[in-house]
Structure formats: C-alpha cells, structure tokens
C-alpha cells in the first residue's frame, strides 16, 4: 500500500471516530445528572433513616412523658406534641420526596438503557465503517496497481507508436521516391502506348476497309426469329455458373444437426470455398471447424479473448480468420491449428473482415468507424480509413481489394478506394434501417460474346444475376439487388414476417446466383428467386434468430446457424 493511500485511510478512520465522539458527548450531561440524582437519593435515604430513628426515640420519650403526664408541665407536653407533629410532617414529606426520587431514578435508568443501546449501535456502525474502510483501502491498492500497469502498457504503446511512425515516415519517403520513378516510367509507357495504339488503329482501318469491300448482307427477320426460337443457338440458353453444374437447390431436408457446438450463443458461420468445411464462432471465444458432410469436429481454434463475431476462410481454404469483441483479428493455419497473426489496432469490436484474392492482406471493419487494410506478410496495418459511420459488413469488388463496399449503421452503402483512402460513392435511400450484410453474386460462365450476332441487342439476352450484382440486407426487413455498374437497385426482396434477428445477420447468394437465402428473428429461413424476386420457399427448423446461412460451392448443400446453439446441414 502506498504512503498516500495509508494516510487517506488514517484520516478517514480518525474522522469516523471523531463523529462517534460527537454523537456520544450529547449523553454525557445526562449521565452526570443521573449520577448526581443517585447520590442525592442515597443521601436522602440516609437522612430518612436518621429521622426515622429520631421519630422512634421521640415516640419512646412521648410514651415516657405520657406515663408521667400528670407530673409534667402542661406547656412542655403541648410543646412536645407540637414537635412530634412537626416531625411526623417532615417524615411524610421525606417519604413523598423518596417516592419522587424513586420515580426519577426509574426514568433515568430507562434512559440509561436506551443510551446504552444507542452507544452499542453506534459502536457497531463504527466497526462497519472500519471494515468498509479496510476493504476500500484494499480496492484502492488494487486499482492503483491496475493504473500502474496501464501506465506501463501506455508507455510501451507510445514507444511502439513512435517506432511505427518512424518506420512509416521512412516508408513514405521511399514510396514518394518510388512514385516519382513510376510516374516517369508511366509517362514513357503512355507515349509508347500511344504510338502502339496509332499503329494498331492504322492496321484496323486497313482491315475494316478490306472487310467493308467483302461485307455480306445482314440476316433477315425470319432468320433472326429462327435464331431466337432455338435456345441453344449461338450458345444462348440457361446461364449457370458452370455448364456441367446442376442448379442450386432450395434447402428442404436437414441431414445433420449440431446441437450445442459452443458454450454460449453462436454469432457467425461460413463455408469453405471447396465446400468441405463449415466454421462457426460464438460467445465461448472459440472457432470450430466441422466436416460439411459428416458433421465431425475437425478443428477447435482458440486465442480470442472475447466473443467471436465473424469467421471467414481464405480463397485456398488453408487459412481462417476470426474477428472478435476484443478489438482484434486472428488468423489460424488449418494444417497446424496455430495462430499465424494477431492483428490489433482497432479500438472497437471488429465485426467483419475478408481476405483478398491471394490471401496477402485482410480488410476489416469495426464499430470504431475505421476500415483497415492489413499486410499479412509483415503482420501490421498498412492503411486506415476513417468512415463516417460504424460498419456492419464489407465485401471486395476486385480480388486485389483496391475497391471495397461497406454497409453502415446509418443505412448508407459506401464505395472506397483503398489506395487513396477516399469514399468514391455513397448509395443512399436503399434502406430505412442499418445494413447488416453485403454479398456479391458469384461469377457466371456465359456464352462467348464473339458467338452472339452483332445485330442482337442486349435486350434479347436473358436477365441473370452474376458477379456484377450486390446483395444488401438490412434491419428494415428488405434485401436489395444492385447493379454494380450503375449502383441502381434492380430488384427488392421482401416477405411478410421476415425480420433480421441481429445487427450482423448474413444473407447469401446461391452458387448459381438464382437464389437468395436469409434467416429471420423467429428462426424461419426465407428463400427468394432472383429472377422473379418472389419468395420461393419458407423452411422452419430453427427456433431462435438465424445469424447466418450459406450454400456450398456446388449449390446442392446448405448450412445455417441460429443463436441458440443449433447448426443445420441441409440438402
């Protein structure tokens, strides 16, 4: 215990004792008065005994005088009778005074008992205050130790920040020099490119002149009608993600249930890109990875200090990340089950993070209103962007992560240039409540453009959702599909009874982009058709809010998780 703390404790104890003395001093005069009255009572009792003896003596004398009354003087007898009457009156008066003193003594005794009880209660209060003072002193010592520890950590952080600032300054100087060289090289390349393009243009002009001379007449209307009547002509037909892949299925049968996989609520779920693993995270601060077919537990990954809010597999499924309420991101290698990186720098809980296409960096968003880019080779933050509002989710528009999309608590979708750190676009008016999740549709494999006749316009090509479309989910109970070329909504998905159950409720596209799934607060899974924008199915297996739902890469299996510790494998 420090000197200041011990001195404060002594001052507090002395102040409590002084207050007790002040409370007790009020009864001192009453005790003195009671003792005086008691002494006076004892003295009067002695006087009463003396007078009683005198009265007995006088009665004896009176009897003697009565025996010799004839011979006594009448005046002397009368005087003796008068004296006796006076003494009897004094005796009666003393008896009355003694009765009054007994009454006063009883009252004072009762008051003394009350004062004694009051003093005992005050002493108990003083003991309680002393005990509380000791506990407070112990707590102050612990708090002082915590403050000292925090000051030590703060000094270490200051040193680390200074070193990082110095390193960043050196890196900035190096980058500026590199930028100058790149600008010079760029200007040279532009000049070479312009010369090359001029040459190409001349060659194309020569080719076009030759083709113009040999041009055939365009097809007739009947020929076009025949083309459009044959759904396989020029390769036009169903646009699926893979010509050998079956369409994604609506989940209907649960073939595996994982009950209580975590000790506490489940917050997140993700399926590996090859569809063989399912990862979950929750309140017990662990990430668990299961086999997607058998449901057997493959890995239990620990290291988070608070609840896990988001998990995500790397593109090659050899790494997995988890974001946590402890303001950090952790990356595990699945072949060893060990943590490769612990990325700290956010000052609020990290709610979402994604790998780039080559797992060289991670982009994360947090409730501290920042977006950070992390270099996994060096293990530190390479870029920080301050957003206007807290983010709930993000997704990458390109594999390199140079442009990202973020969904915010203020209902706005924002587009960010990670190289400059600027917000290049804000999409407002989509939702009336916070955006909970974002998802880009999977890439579609379509017929080669060179096989489509130039005379057919885009209006003849069947509409299909592909990687140029974005799915937004929000707390207002609506989902929007946006065209990323124009950022205009091409369709709204809504259903009676659909209401996301958390701020991070994840919605997902199917593998072929023809279906969208989202879980509601009442445990119902809603499946929409992205061609008609209508609800295709409602399935009920969960009883609490569904936090996430995903199809695997084949589109034949579906996985969902609810907060109350239930994970379902569907087919």
pLDDT digits (tens, 9 = 90+) for 44-80: 888 888 888 888 888 888 777 777 665 656 777 778 7
The answer to whether the beta carbons of residues 254 and 568 sit under 8 Å apart is yes
Domain C-terminal end among 160, 179, 203:
160
- Regarding beta strands 370-375 and 266-271, do their DSSP bridges make them parallel or antiparallel, or are they unpaired? unpaired
User: What digits encode the pLDDT tens for the residues 143-175?
Assistant: 998 888 888 778 777 766 776 676 677 778 777
Range name among 74-78, 177-181, 258-262, 411-415 with the lowest pLDDT average: 74-78
E strands, 292-430, are 297-301, 308-313, 319-324, 328-333, 338-344, 350-355, 361-366, 370-375, 380-386, 391-396, 403-408, 413-417, 422-427
Q: What does the pLDDT average to over 37-50?
A: 82
Q: What percent of the chain has pLDDT over 90?
A: 43
Residue 556 lies in a domain: yes
Sign of CA dihedral 163, 166, 170, 172: positive
- Nearest Cα residue to 287 out of 245, 317, 322, 318: 322
Which backbone phi and psi does 437 adopt, to 5 degrees? -160, 160
Domain harbouring 153, CATH code: 1.10.287.1700
Residue 215 lies in a domain: no
Q: Which residues pair with 471 in a beta bridge?
A: 439, 481
Question: Tens digits of per-residue pLDDT, 342-386?
Answer: 999 999 999 999 999 999 999 999 998 999 999 998 888 999 999
Per-residue pLDDT, 230: 42
**Is 276 domain-assigned?**
no
Angle (CA) 518-357-389 rounded to 5° is 55
Kindly state whether residue 529 falls inside one of the protein's structural domains: yes
What average pLDDT score do residues 254-263 get?
91
Of residues 450 and 5, more confidence is placed in: 5
Query: Which CATH number belongs to the domain containing residue 343 in this structure?
Result: 2.130.10.10
Whether residue 470 has pLDDT greater than 90:
yes
Asked whether the beta carbons of 459 and 228 are under 8 A apart, the reply is no
Low-confidence winner among 44-53, 337-346, 444-453, 541-550 (lowest mean pLDDT): 444-453
3-class secondary-structure state, position 425: strand
Are the CB atoms for 269 and 292 separated by under 8 Å? no
- Indicate if 521 and 374 belong to the same structural domain: yes
Residue 282 CA to residue 115 CA, distance in Å, equals 62
Residue 295 counted as domain residue: no
pLDDT(232) > 70: no
Q: Which helix (DSSP H) or strand (DSSP E) does residue 268 occupy? A: strand 266-271
Q: Is residue 182 part of a domain?
A: no
Residue 432, in any domain of the structure: yes
> Which domain-ending residue is among 121, 143, 160?
160
- Residue 310 placed within a domain: no
How many residues are listed for the chain in this entry? 571
Domain count, the chain: 2
Structural domain boundaries, residue 473: 251-265+338-444+463-570
Q: Does 438 share its domain with 546? A: yes
Q: Among 130, 160, 190, give the residue marking a domain's end.
A: 160
């Amino acid at each position: 215990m420090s000197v200041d703390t011990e001195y404060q404790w002594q001052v507090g104890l002395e102040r409590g004792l002084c207050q007790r003395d002040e409370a007790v001093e009020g009864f001192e005069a009453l005790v003195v008065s009671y003792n005086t009255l008691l002494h006076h009572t004892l003295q009067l009792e002695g006087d009463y005994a003396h007078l009683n003896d005198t009265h007995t003596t006088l009665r004896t004398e009176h009897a003697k005088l009565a025996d010799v009354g004839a011979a006594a003087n009448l005046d002397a007898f009368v005087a003796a009778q008068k004296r006796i009457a006076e003494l009897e009156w004094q005796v009666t008066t003393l008896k009355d005074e003694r009765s009054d003193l007994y009454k006063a003594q009883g009252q004072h005794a009762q008051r003394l008992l009350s004062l004694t009880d009051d003093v005992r209660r005050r002493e108990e209060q003083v003991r309680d205050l002393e005990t509380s003072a000791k506990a407070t002193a112990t707590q102050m010592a612990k708090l002082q130790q915590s403050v000292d520890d925090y000051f030590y950590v703060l000094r270490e952080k200051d040193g680390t920040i200074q070193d990082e600032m110095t390193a960043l300054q050196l890196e900035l100087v190096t980058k500026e020099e590199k930028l100058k060289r790149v600008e010079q090289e760029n200007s040279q390349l532009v000049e070479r490119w312009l010369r090359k393009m001029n040459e190409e243009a001349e060659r194309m002009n020569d080719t076009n002149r030759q083709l113009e001379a040999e041009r055939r007449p365009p097809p007739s209307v009947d020929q076009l009608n025949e083309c459009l009547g044959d759904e396989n002509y020029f390769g036009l037909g169903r646009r699926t993600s893979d010509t050998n892949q079956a369409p994604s299925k609506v989940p209907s049968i649960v073939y595996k249930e994982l009950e209580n996989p975590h000790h506490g609520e489940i917050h997140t779920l993700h399926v590996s890109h090859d569809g063989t693993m399912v990862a979950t995270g929750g309140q017990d601060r662990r990430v668990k990875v299961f086999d997607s077919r058998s449901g057997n537990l493959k890995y239990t990954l620990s290291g988070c200090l608070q609840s896990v809010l988001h998990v995500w597999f790397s593109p090659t499924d050899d790494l997995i990340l988890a974001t946590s309420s402890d303001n950090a991101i952790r990356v595990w290698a699945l072949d060893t089950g060990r943590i490769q990186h612990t990325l700290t720098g956010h000052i609020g809980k990290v709610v979402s993070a994604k790998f780039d296409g080559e797992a060289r960096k991670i982009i994360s968003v947090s409730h501290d209103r920042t977006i950070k880019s992390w270099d996994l080779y060096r293990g530190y933050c390479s870029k920080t962007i301050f957003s206007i509002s807290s983010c709930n989710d993000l997704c990458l528009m390109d594999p390199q992560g140079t442009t990202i999309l973020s969904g915010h608590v203020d209902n706005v979708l924002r587009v960010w240039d990670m190289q400059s750190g600027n917000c290049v676009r804000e999409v407002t008016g989509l939702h009336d409540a916070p955006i909970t999740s974002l998802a880009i549709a999977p890439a579609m494999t379509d017929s080669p453009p060179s096989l489509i006749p130039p005379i057919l316009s885009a209006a003849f090509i069947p509409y299909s959702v592909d990687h140029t479309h974005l799915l937004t989910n929000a707390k207002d109970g609506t989902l929007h599909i946006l065209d990323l070329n124009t950022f205009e909504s091409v369709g709204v998905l809504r259903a009676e009874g659909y209401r996301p159950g958390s701020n991070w409720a994840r919605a997902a596209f199917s593998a072929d982009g023809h279906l969208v799934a989202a879980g509601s607060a009442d445990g119902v899974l809603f499946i929409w058709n992205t061609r008609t924008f209508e609800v295709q199915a409602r399935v009920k297996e969960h009883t609490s809010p569904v936090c996430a739902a995903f199809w695997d890469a084949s589109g034949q299996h579906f996985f969902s998780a609810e907060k109350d510790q239930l994970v379902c494998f569907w087919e």
